[in-house]
Structure formats: structure tokens, C-alpha cells
Amino acid sequence: MPKKYFSNPKKLSSMESSARSSKELPTILREGTTSEKPTDIRVIASKAFLLPVATRVPLKFGDQILESINCLRVRMSVCDNSGRTAEGWGETPLSVQWAWPSEITYQNRLDSLVEFCQKLKQSWPEHRGSGHPLELGHDFLRNVLPALQRNHNAGARSGEELPYLAALVANSAFDIALHDAYGNLHQVDIYDTYNANYMNRDLAAFLQPAESQSTTISFSGAYPEDFLVFPPPQQLSAWHLVGGLDPLSSSELGDNPPDDGYPLLLREWIETDGLKCLKIKLRGNDMEWDYDRLVQVGKVSLETGVEALSADFNCCVQETSYVNVVLDRLRNEEPAIFERLVYVEQPFEYDLEQRRLDVHQVARRKPLFLDESAHDWQHVRLGYELGWTGVALKTCKTQTGALLSLCWAKAHGMQLMVQDLTNPMLAQIPHVRLAAHAGTIGGVETNAMQFYPEASAREAQIHPGLYRRRKGQVDLSTLSGSGFGYRIDEMNPSHQHHEV
């Protein structure tokens, strides 16, 4: 099947789907069916490591403040039916404050999450399925992860249950490593495998259209490559994060600002990195502060040539009227800033099923993107029905889940962004690769260089353009080889870490 990219896929017509289904394709195997492709793999071992990283400045989002983080790095071993083996690597920040906002202590939440990582490390080799990593990853998400989370919470010692989003973040490093290992085993770029040549199941085995589109959209005979950009761009516009504690003027620097050669003020970042896109973190529970912050950052943008803004309320808004009032006031009082506001990200509580807010009125003012709520394509479907118009994809919700959500969203005409979890080191690479292949509304959010730039010094020796933003962009041209193109064998010895 030729590679296609649906640049504006309002729908896949039933006529087109039938035409594609009529082509000669391999038999589509449903979940649980034994596959027979010689490229199929199974997991034989996994190891997990924690890499502690301290921030140079604090990162505030919503009511949470992040000053240090542990990155989970996973090495996974796989084999095919002939006995050939290979290893792959995956990594994600265990961003406890983002994935598990709570009033219980940070240490209790972290301890619980690390304990869950240990259970994942044991469970992946015990999952005896075989197939393509998208199939294995999907089956693990559906059949193993929920039960693992329930069993973990049955014996919870933290005083609070581990939420599914936190479980998903922990699992993402294993899932990413699985995809990388598959590419390494077959000596192929992993993005060249999301098609009928390698996969046993088409997208109809994983996805169902919205009920309102069930007669016009079919995933039969379609594969992820049909929704991906080929060839991907080698440079991406970089979105800079303006955190809730980030100083805008020298009077806000405090008594002991870091003196490490990196910018501190927003204007310095814009000038140094040539930034054109800013994502503004808001509180979501203080309307005057949120409006003033939008105006302050917006005025800096107007004066420095920044072209695009987004507003992230981080799940703290309780009612749609809050966002409507802020947007209407901005449109009336600061129309030039309002014009530069490209989209609004996740204002409301992320549990869509518990609180089904109709957001059509908000989305009529500005495109409205799911983030924390977009656990998987089913949640994207629910968001679509409630009026959300876009999805912020994250690899920390697994490569598998991100790809399936991408395909579902594009088929239904939703817009895409790829958002950061402040990804340093190896975590940056699958993150930017997803953005390059996704066809976002413009570039990728990337901010690890703001908060812990030296953490990625090892990786930056091989991929300098991924860890420093120049002319407002990151450069992917050094990525090459199999899997995600890490080129990990060329890097110096690893960071200090300990095994989970």
C-alpha cells in the first residue's frame, strides 16, 4: 500500500475504504489470534533504571511545582521465532506532579510509582503474546495494565490509589523500548513498519469511529502509515514553555537566580533561541492572574516577533464560563494578542467520563485541545463528542497509544499537537519523531533545555540540534539507523543511575 498523508482528513469515505480493502492485503488477525509473520517478536527480558535530574529553575503548572525529577529508562530484549534477539531503549520522566496531582506527599506518590515500575518490569516478559509492537502494546494496555493497576492499588500504602494516568506514564518507557527493539531486530526505522508489510492487524482491529460518523468512516484496510507524514521534516518549530514561575522581568528574578550561562528572562530566551512559539502556563483558578499573564506574555510576544501562543490551564478550571470570559475579554481588549492565540489546552478536569462538560462554546472561540484527558483513542472519541477539536499527543502515554489516538483524531478531522513532558536525554527522541510524523498544527513543544539542559549533555554530543533550539527550531537530521535512530552505541557511558 503506498504511503499516504491525509493533510485534512475530515473523514475517510466508505468508498475509499472499500477500494483499499479490495486490494490484496494480508489476512487481518484480531486480538488474541496467533500471528505467523516472520517479523513478529515477543519480549524475553526487561530492565529499568532511575536517573535523577534536578531542575535549574522550578517549573510550575497548575497548583504543582516541580524542582527535580526521576527519569525511567528501560532496556527491553526481544526475539523472533527464529531465535534472533535485539535490545531497545525507552525513557520517560516520571513526572509525579503532572501524572498524579494530590495533597499526599510527593515521596509517597513517587515510592508508589516506582513500585509500580517494578511490577511492569516483571510483567512485560511474562506477557507471552507475539506480533508487531503496536499489537503487543495495544494488548498490554487493554488486558494487562488495568489489572496490574488494580492489584497495585489493592495493596496501596501511599494512602491514595495510583491513578491510571500515572500507570500509563510508567508503562510508556517499556512500550517505547518495545518499538525500538523491533526496529533494531529488523534493522529498519520503526516508522517504516507501521503498515501491512509488518503488521498483522489493520486499524479496524483497534479503532471504532464516532457513532455519528460510523457510516462515513471505516478503518478497515487502513494502517498507521496512512495517517503519517512521509518524508518527515528534518526541522520543527520549537514551542517554548512559559511556566507559572518564569520571570518576565529582572524584578522577578529573586535573590539567587542561577548563574549558569543560560537565559533567565523570557526576552532573553526569545532572542537567544530565535523563538516564534510560546506556550503559557496558567492557574485555572484565578481569573485575574490568568488574564494578566496572557496579556503580559502577549505584549512581550508582540514586541519580539513571536508569532504563535497557546494557553494551558492544566485541568484546574471548573466551569466553561471561566475560559469564555478570559477569551472574550482578551478578544475585546487585546485583539492582537487574541489573534496570535492558536489554541487552548486542557482547561478542565481530565476525567471526562466522570465530568462530561459540553465544551462546544469554548471551542467556537478558539481550538480546544485535549491533553491529560487523552489517555487513549476512546477518551479522544468522548472528547470529540463533547466538542473538543484537537488532541495534544504525548509519548509518555505510550508510543502505541499516541499512534492510535493520532489515527483516530485525523480520521475525524481533529487537529494535532505533540506536547512535552519536559523530556530530556533519550526521552526527547521518540517525542520529536512523533511530532515530525504526526503533521501537527506547527512544530513541537520542547522545553527540557529550559529546566535541565545539562542532563542531556551525553545525547547532545551526537544530536546537538535536538537539545539546543536555534532559529526557533530543533533539528532532527542527525537521527539515523534502526529503531528510533538513537545511535546510542555512539554515546559516552551512561548517566549515574540505579536499577529499579
Confidence check: pLDDT of 26 > 70: no
Average pLDDT over residues 367-384: 94
pLDDT of residue 35: 53
- Would you place residue 382 in the very low, low, confident or very high pLDDT band (cuts 50, 70, 90)? very high
pTM of the model: 0.91
Encode pLDDT of 302-328 as tens digits: 999 999 999 999 888 999 999 999 999
pLDDT of residue 28: 32
Q: Are strands 444-445 and 235-242 parallel, antiparallel or unpaired?
A: parallel
Q: Which long-range contacts (CB under 8 A, 24 or more apart) does 105-111 make?
A: 108/157, 108/158, 108/159, 108/160, 109/158, 109/160, 109/166, 110/70, 111/157, 111/158
Task: For residues 393 and 438, give the distance between their C-alpha atoms in angstroms, rounded to a whole number.
Answer: 9
Q: What is the mean pLDDT of the chain?
A: 90
Domains 41-204 and 206-485 share a fold: no
pLDDT of residue 61: 63
Task: For residues 346 and 348, give the distance between their C-alpha atoms in angstroms, rounded to a whole number.
Answer: 6
Least confident of 32-46, 260-274, 382-396, 475-489: 32-46
Confidence check: pLDDT of 158 > 80: no
Average pLDDT over residues 137-154: 96
Place of cell 502509515: 225
Encode pLDDT of 259-283 as tens digits: 889 999 999 999 999 999 999 999 9
- 345's CB contacts (< 8 A; 6+ apart) are 279, 310, 311, 312, 313, 369, 371, 392, 417, 419
pLDDT of residue 10: 30
pLDDT of residue 259: 86
- Would you place residue 350 in the very low, low, confident or very high pLDDT band (cuts 50, 70, 90)? confident
Closest CA to 104 of 160, 150, 154: 160
Encode pLDDT of 98-125 as tens digits: 899 888 999 999 999 999 999 999 999 9
Place of cell 525529577: 69
Q: Where are the domains of the chain?
A: 41-204, 206-485
Bigger pLDDT: 217 or 27? 217
pLDDT of residue 245: 87
How buried is 399 (Cβ within 10 angstroms: 0-12 exposed, 13-18 middle, 19+ buried)? buried
Encode pLDDT of 421-441 as tens digits: 999 999 999 999 999 999 999
Confidence check: pLDDT of 45 > 60: yes
How buried is 304 (Cβ within 10 angstroms: 0-12 exposed, 13-18 middle, 19+ buried)? middle
* Sheet hosting strand 64-80, strand order edge to edge: 85-93, 64-80, 41-61, 498-499
Encode pLDDT of 332-342 as tens digits: 999 999 999 99
Confidence check: pLDDT of 180 > 50: yes
**Architecture of the domain defined by 206-485:** Alpha-Beta Barrel (3.20)
Average pLDDT over residues 64-83: 92
Least confident of 19-33, 174-188, 212-226, 471-485: 19-33
3-class SS at 91? strand
CB 173 within 8 A of CB 47: no
Task: For residues 271 and 267, give the distance between their C-alpha atoms in angstroms, rounded to a whole number.
Answer: 6
Closest CA to 382 of 248, 210, 255: 210
DSSP state at residue 195: S
**Architecture of the domain defined by 41-204:** 2-Layer Sandwich (3.30)
Confidence check: pLDDT of 290 > 80: yes
